Amino acid sequence: MNVKETGIILSCEDYEAAVKFYAEQLGLPIRERGESLSTLDFGGSYLMVEDKGVASDREKTRAQNPTVLRFHVDDFDASVEELEARGVHVQVQHFRWGTIGVVIDPEGNRIELKR
């Protein structure tokens, strides 16, 4: 198998709000924008956001969404500051194995920045 590119598909209940969050607040460039499906750059891969998902008003459990979107960033502190300046709450957590910044999208999906 010769993999050309990898991607992740994320189904969202409020499609418009999800695309706006990932494009404007997280800063992912939009490759293609459609009425119910959009593709955004995802650090050498792509994130496809589409409708027909189920939102939660709090972080989804692993049973509700077993996938975590993770961004390994060059400058963790600057990335946290940039997101917070865009109105994104980032909860920084320190572990023996490293540091992450946890973000919950408007649908309740967990996103992590990794130092």
pLDDT digits (tens, 9 = 90+) for 73-114: 999 999 999 999 999 999 999 999 999 999 999 999 999 999
Sequence-distant (≥ 6) Cβ neighbours of residue 53 within 8 angstroms = 10, 11, 12, 13, 107
Long-range contacts of 73-79 (CB under 8 A, 24+ apart): 73/113, 73/114, 73/115, 76/101, 76/113, 76/114, 76/115, 79/113
CA 108, distance to chain mean position in Å, is 11
**CA nearest neighbour of 7 among 25, 26, 32, 24:** 32
Tell whether pTM > 0.85.
Answer: yes
- Rounded CA separation 74/115 (Å): 7
Condensed to tens digits (0 to 9), the pLDDT of residues 1-60 reads 999 999 999 999 999 999 999 999 999 999 999 999 999 999 999 999 999 999 999 999
